[in-house]
């Protein structure tokens, strides 16, 4: 009898937890994204700072997959079931869009980053020149970044979070809130060499780097939402945009001797803050959002 009661209480507790998760999908999504990523990344952080010994660099590589990706899959399964996962997969492969969006993403985006670099004093003088190797390395980097960085993040940010945040908070407020949460998800990364941190880095340097990063992510968030809303909520297009932002930053570094982490961040500020402001002004904060048209609004979460 006692075992039966315990089983019944366990089932009841599980149902109550699932109901709580369904009632607060965004809260639990971001909670999982942060918790999964930060817990997995902690051994690598500790090894970098010499607290523990061992090679944990692989954890830095898989961090997005165990963060926003895993959180999005779990939350989608709980809130929408198998049909929700099918819709998410469909949006991941939704490639059809106007040619102008591909042109904007693949050509204009890298050009803005390059403009932000060369406009800074001393950059043109440090230019090493283009080489045939760039024709090979750029596509290679693009593929690696698409699958290793952009895809696992965008499954969460634009795949799960944004379609729920815009109807709830409005396009601009929802985008800015997502930008803040997206930015601070990266906070722990600034303790690693990959984000300009690590042993020997001063607190002032970290603070300046993160301040730059905050401004950049807020600008990117606005641009992402604007593109997302004009491409039918395509996560695939969001992946391409994310890749088109990250890849040039890897490629331009060897081409300019004067480029460092701070100047690269400044280049993104120069290249993207003004376009983001213009998008907000010209769309009056709507960012192309059309309820029930831009993407499928879940009836259970209206």
List b or e across 99-132, with b for residues whose CB sees 16 or more CB atoms inside 10 angstroms: eebeebbeeebbebbbebbeebeebeeeeeeeee
Q: Looking at residue 7, what is its pLDDT?
A: 54
Per the rule left: phi > 0, alpha: psi between -120 and 50, beta: everything else, 288 is left
In degrees to the nearest 10, what's the CA dihedral of 148, 152, 158, 163?
160
Reference 63, options 75, 71, 73; nearest CA is: 71
Structure tokens at 164: 């729920």
Structure tokens at 142: 């693009």
Q: How far apart are CA 50 and CA 47, in angstroms?
A: 5
Q: Which positions ≥6 away from 287 have C-beta within 8 Å?
A: 171, 172, 175, 222, 225, 226, 229, 279, 280
pTM of the model as a whole: 0.89
Q: Tally DSSP H helices, then E strands, for the chain.
A: 13, 0
User: Residue-wise pLDDT tens for the chain (302 aa)?
Assistant: 555 545 555 566 667 778 888 889 999 999 999 999 999 999 999 998 888 988 888 887 888 888 999 999 999 999 999 999 999 999 999 888 889 999 999 999 999 999 999 899 988 888 888 777 777 888 999 999 999 999 999 999 999 999 999 999 999 999 999 999 999 999 998 888 877 777 877 888 888 889 999 999 999 999 999 999 999 999 999 999 999 999 988 887 778 887 877 788 889 999 999 999 999 999 999 999 988 655 554 444 44
Q: Looking at residue 302, what is its pLDDT?
A: 41
Longest dimension (CA), the chain: 82
In the chain, where are the structural domains located?
2-301
Q: How far apart are CA 10 and CA 282, in angstroms?
A: 54
Q: Looking at residue 205, what is its pLDDT?
A: 82
Q: Looking at residue 9, what is its pLDDT?
A: 55
């Amino acid at each position: 009898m006692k075992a039966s009661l315990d089983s019944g209480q366990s089932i009841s507790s599980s149902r109550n937890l699932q109901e709580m998760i369904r009632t607060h999908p965004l809260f639990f999504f971001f909670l999982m994204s942060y918790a999964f990523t930060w817990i997995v990344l902690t051994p690598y952080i500790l090894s970098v700072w010499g607290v523990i010994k061992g090679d944990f660099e692989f954890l830095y590589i898989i961090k997005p997959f165990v963060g926003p990706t895993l959180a999005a899959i779990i939350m989608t399964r709980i809130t929408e079931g198998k049909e929700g996962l099918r819709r998410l997969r469909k949006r991941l492969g939704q490639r059809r869009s106007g040619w102008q969006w591909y042109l904007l993403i693949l050509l204009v985006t890298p050009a803005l980053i390059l403009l932000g670099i060369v406009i800074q004093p001393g950059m043109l003088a440090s230019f090493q020149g283009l080489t045939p190797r760039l024709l090979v390395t750029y596509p290679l980097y693009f593929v690696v970044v698409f699958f290793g960085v952009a895809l696992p993040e965008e499954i969460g940010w634009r795949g799960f979070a944004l379609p729920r945040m815009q109807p709830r908070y409005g396009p601009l407020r929802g985008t800015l809130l997502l930008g803040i949460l997206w930015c601070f998800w990266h906070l722990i990364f600034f303790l690693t060499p990959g984000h300009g941190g690590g042993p020997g880095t001063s607190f002032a340097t970290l603070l300046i780097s993160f301040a730059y990063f905050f401004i950049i992510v807020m600008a990117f968030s606005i641009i992402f939402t604007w593109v997302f809303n004009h491409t039918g909520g395509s996560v695939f297009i969001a992946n391409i945009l994310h890749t088109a932002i990250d890849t040039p930053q890897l490629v331009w570094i060897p081409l300019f001797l004067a480029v460092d982490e701070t100047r690269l961040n400044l280049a993104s500020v120069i290249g993207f803050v003004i376009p983001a402001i213009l998008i907000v002004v010209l769309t009056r904060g709507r960012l192309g959002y059309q309820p029930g048209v831009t993407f499928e609004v879940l009836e259970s979460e209206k």
